[in-house]
Structure 1
């Protein structure tokens, strides 16, 4: 176990799950080939003002929004089928990082900005999700990183004071906010990731 740390809090996307080239939805470029849907159509959906914020905070239901978009655009696919395609396409584990997660003894959780549907997918259908106590997601918490409310919720759920929590996250803003609350932090990036096993005592 990491000295002085009771719970390691892992981010998901960008840490345990790969974003190739930093792109959040690389699979969108293949939508025409995969589902017969023009990528521009889905990008219009993604770029609806305020939608990402509302979905990530749990103020809007992702499946309901997808069904409305599909109906409006006239696509020949069911909303659940499209969501399943999205979830599976976004499942790109970083095998090395997941290996470090598996090798680390002690308490560990995933804390991620994601809607409830993807949080359930991560918890039930990914190796990383099965290796942790729980998946804490913004869509269920009602606050998204770097909102202080997100970190406050994690503190309450774990029952651990801030100075005994370690956040592993690829976002500088998230790391900075956690540090301001007294958490220990590790910024996960291409030029820092090789230091993580030492931080974890592996």
Structure 2
């Protein structure tokens, strides 16, 4: 196995797994809690604007405010963002402990995630992920998102590590395939086994 210098960890579906109380999608009770039609929100906001927002070409708040005026004028932008972020914040504490062990073994651990700016700050500061990692790479900062090859090239340039020294941990198979096409190593994360087993000897040179 090659010597891995940096483990690049996805966030949603890996470190963050839905609602804190039960792991369900953050929209699961949106209609009951805020009287917002989920399909209307997805049609007017997420399917229409999310790609531009998550790649930093548009801002979250103006687009969300416009959508809410159309589909749920009784809900403010602040209300929905607060609800969304709080209900999409279940940390996998076991995985975080395993990641801490990886860092102790001398491997850098960075986040490599498709996020817009505001939620990225929430993840780092409010949920405290900044204190548990060595760096982060956010699609809104880079101007491109996984699985775009440009994302992997941009991260590689940022860290100054050859692709063969990078390992992506991601729950989306398409991202895993894109990482390997970029010369990285990659593991499809399912959460079914401990991190040590999932990495299958990639860290054998680190003690």
What TM-score does the superposition give when structure 2 sets the normalisation length? 0.84
CA distance, structure 1, for counterparts of residue 18 and residue 97 of structure 2: 17
In 2: Cα distance, 1:119 partner to 1:28 partner: 19
**Separation of aligned partners in 2, 1:180 and 1:40:** 35
2:91 aligned partner: 93
**3-state SS in 1 of match to 2:183:** coil
Quote the Cα distance in structure 2 between the aligned partners of 1:54 and 1:193.
Answer: 35
**CA RMSD of the aligned region, Å?**
2.5
Alignment correspondent of 1:28 = 27
Quote how far apart the aligned CAs of 1:190 are: 4.2
2:186 aligns to what SS in structure 1? Answer: strand
Q: Separation in 2 of the partners of 1:98 and 1:71?
A: 39
5+ unaligned residues in a row in structure 1: which ranges? none
Distance 1:166 1:190 in 2: 17
- Structure 2: which 5+ residue stretches go unaligned? none
Partner of 1:147: 148
Instruction: State yes or no: 1:37 paired with 2:36.
Output: yes
Structure-1 residue corresponding to 2:134: 133
String of CA shifts for 1:98-130, please: whole Å, max 9, x gaps.
221122223111010111111111111224332
Alignment of 1:116-131 (within 5 A): 116-131=117-132
Specify the alignment match of 2:3 in structure 1. 4
1:183 aligns with 2:184: yes
C-alpha contact (below 8 Å) 2:68/2:75 kept by paired residues = yes
Which residue pairs with 1:63 in the alignment? 61
> What TM-score comes out, normalization by structure 1 length?
0.85
Aligned counterparts of 2:193 and 2:187: Cα–Cα separation in 1: 9
Aligned length: 197
**Corresponding position of 1:17:** 16
Of 46, 49, 52, which residue of structure 1 is paired with 2:50? 52
Query: Does structure 2 conserve the Cα–Cα contact (< 8 Å) formed by 1:112 and 1:136?
Result: yes
